[in-house]
């Protein structure tokens, strides 16, 4: 096919300078044809690197030539070449037009294999993949070593306490039993009647735990879809669709977990708990997306959602997410009527909490607790950011799954350990701390995002920065909820086992 003009006209000096800046910043065309991704095509060419003395010479390609291969009625391969350079002089008007041409080639490639080329193209090369694996293995090994070190210290301390308390039980028939209790019962055992005293703001606490559990299930489903190749690069929008639908359906898990825990804690206002769960689940995320959409519309960006997309999102939320949350709440209320079943009865009078040491203050706990899990995921973050905010396509080839498992395991251990040491300091208000300690990794993730934005990325302008920070806030918020829920479940499971294993009456 001969060249076909798409558009053209006289560009102002301001437009020309904008094109020059875009070429200097390595802007590319990112195209898809029949759901096949195309090689990134440069907008133009800058002669600065080749010849510094020609630093003012910048060229923009005016023609894109498409080489399309087909098998019967299906496209199986697409290539694009940029042609016809046009020099753009600084501060001068320019008459410019964009055009394209097409050449068709017949191919015998099976249509079912048409996506394979693009998936393989976007995978890391052999040396890069080897380096990636080594980096992840090194980070994982360091995390595992620290994990084992912390676990050994933790178990040694707990076993020492077990031995001491068991000895006190063997001698409990001595005449000076009261003196012995005063000497031996200290730390986590002496506050046994307050350990399972329910936290303040139960409605909010249960909603946070429920929503975090929902995010964990959501992540598990998406990982399953990714590893089973259900989500692949050639199906445009498949990830966004899967994310939205799965998120709406997993509200059933959030409502169920929240209502069950709230009922076990003798909560009386289930409606408030369910509304809190919905607010935590939908409020911040939809709020951020609404703000970003308004910004995109103000800038006239194509990233602004169309009316039908917005209607679909609202429809899925109203018809699936909200009813699923209330259905989960009804089921959770029935399941939670059996009670919390704490191993120790809670006293009526609340025990006074002594001033904790500096390292057990809640803010210090959050800083320390998030370091190890974040360190385990730090190496993988560089590749994920390069894929999401760069020009690479992320291929889920097992490394990410390993990192996720390590982060979950390390978070569980760290939160259980901090809860134990907090009880040793006779501070029985561990509930909220376990959530915040686990979720602190999400805060580290957002701080890393700011670091990446300022020092690693080429993003500029209010629109790009707003979208980057908005999306990363949403991801970090979800990470906080998910790992906070993991931290709570790990802490309460450990404490149940701890107080069941030692005679505390």
Instruction: Quote the pLDDT of residue 119.
Output: 58
Q: What are the tens digits of pLDDT across the range 259-296?
A: 999 999 988 899 999 999 999 999 999 999 999 999 99
If 0-12 CB within 10 Å is exposed, 13-18 middle and 19+ buried, where does residue 141 land? Answer: exposed
Instruction: Quote the pLDDT of residue 182.
Output: 44
Element spanning 81, H or E: strand 74-88
Distance linking the first and last C-alpha atoms of the chain: 89
As separate numbers, helices (DSSP H) first and strands (DSSP E) second, the chain gives 15, 9
pLDDT band at 167 (very low <50, low <70, confident <90, very high): low
Q: What are the tens digits of pLDDT across the range 190-200?
A: 888 888 999 99
Pairwise CA distance, residues 299 & 306, whole Å: 15
Sign of the C-alpha dihedral computed for residues 174, 180, 182 and 185 taken in this order: negative
Reported pTM: 0.82
* 7: pLDDT strictly greater than 70: yes
Closest by CA to 428, choosing from 484, 474, 360, 381, is 360
Q: Where are the domains of the chain?
A: 4-115, 126-158+186-501
Least confident of 73-82, 94-103, 177-186, 287-296: 177-186
Least confident of 158-172, 309-323, 335-349, 377-391: 158-172
User: Please, what is the angle between helix 251-264 and helix 238-249, to 10°?
Assistant: 30
């Amino acid at each position: 096919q001969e060249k076909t003009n798409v558009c053209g006209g006289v560009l102002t000096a301001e437009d020309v300078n904008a094109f020059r800046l875009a070429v200097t910043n390595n802007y590319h065309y990112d195209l898809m044809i029949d759901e096949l991704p195309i090689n990134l095509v440069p907008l133009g060419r800058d002669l600065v690197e080749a010849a510094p003395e020609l630093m003012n010479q910048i060229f923009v390609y005016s023609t894109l030539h498409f080489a399309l291969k087909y098998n019967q009625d299906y496209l199986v391969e697409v290539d694009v070449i940029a042609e016809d350079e046009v020099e753009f002089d600084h501060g001068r008007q320019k008459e410019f037009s964009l055009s394209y041409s097409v050449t068709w080639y017949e191919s015998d490639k099976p249509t079912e294999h048409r996506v394979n080329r693009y998936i393989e193209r976007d995978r890391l090369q052999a040396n890069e993949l080897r380096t990636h694996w080594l980096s992840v293995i090194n980070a994982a090994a360091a995390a595992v070593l620290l994990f084992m070190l912390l676990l050994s210290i933790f178990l040694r301390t707990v076993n020492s306490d077990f031995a001491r308390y068991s000895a006190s039980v063997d001698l409990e028939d001595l005449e000076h039993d009261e003196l012995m209790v005063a000497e031996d019962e200290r730390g986590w055992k002496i506050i046994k009647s307050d350990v399972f005293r329910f936290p303040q703001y139960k409605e909010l606490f249960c909603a946070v735990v429920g929503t975090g559990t929902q995010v964990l299930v959501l992540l598990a489903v998406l990982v399953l879809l990714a590893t089973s190749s259900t989500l692949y690069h050639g199906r445009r929008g498949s990830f966004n669709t899967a994310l939205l639908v799965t998120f709406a359906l997993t509200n059933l898990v959030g409502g169920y977990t929240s209502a069950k825990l709230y009922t076990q804690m003798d909560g009386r206002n289930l409606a408030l708990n369910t509304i809190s769960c919905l607010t935590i689940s939908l409020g911040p995320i939809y709020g951020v997306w609404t703000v970003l959409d308004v910004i995109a519309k103000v800038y006239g960006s194509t990233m602004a959602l169309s009316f039908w997309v917005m209607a679909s999102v609202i429809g899925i939320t109203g018809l699936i997410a909200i009813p699923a949350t209330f259905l989960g709440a009804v089921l959770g209320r029935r399941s939670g009527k059996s009670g919390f079943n704490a191993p120790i009865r809670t006293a009526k009078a609340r025990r006074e909490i002594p001033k904790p040491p500096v390292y057990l203050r809640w803010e210090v706990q959050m800083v320390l607790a998030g370091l190890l899990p974040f360190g385990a995921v730090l190496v993988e973050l560089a590749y994920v950011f390069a894929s999401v905010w760069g020009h690479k396509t992320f291929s889920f080839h097992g490394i990410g799954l390993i990192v996720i498992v390590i982060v979950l395991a390390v978070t569980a251990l760290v939160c259980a350990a901090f809860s134990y040491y907090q009880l040793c300091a006779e501070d029985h208000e561990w509930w909220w701390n376990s959530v915040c300690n686990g979720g602190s990794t999400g805060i580290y993730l957002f701080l890393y995002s700011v670091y990446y934005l300022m020092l690693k990325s080429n993003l500029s302008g209010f629109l790009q920065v707003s979208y980057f920070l908005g999306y990363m806030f949403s991801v970090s918020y979800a990470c906080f909820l998910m790992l906070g829920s993991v931290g709570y479940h790990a802490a309460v499971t450990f404490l149940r086992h701890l107080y069941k294993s030692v005679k505390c009456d």
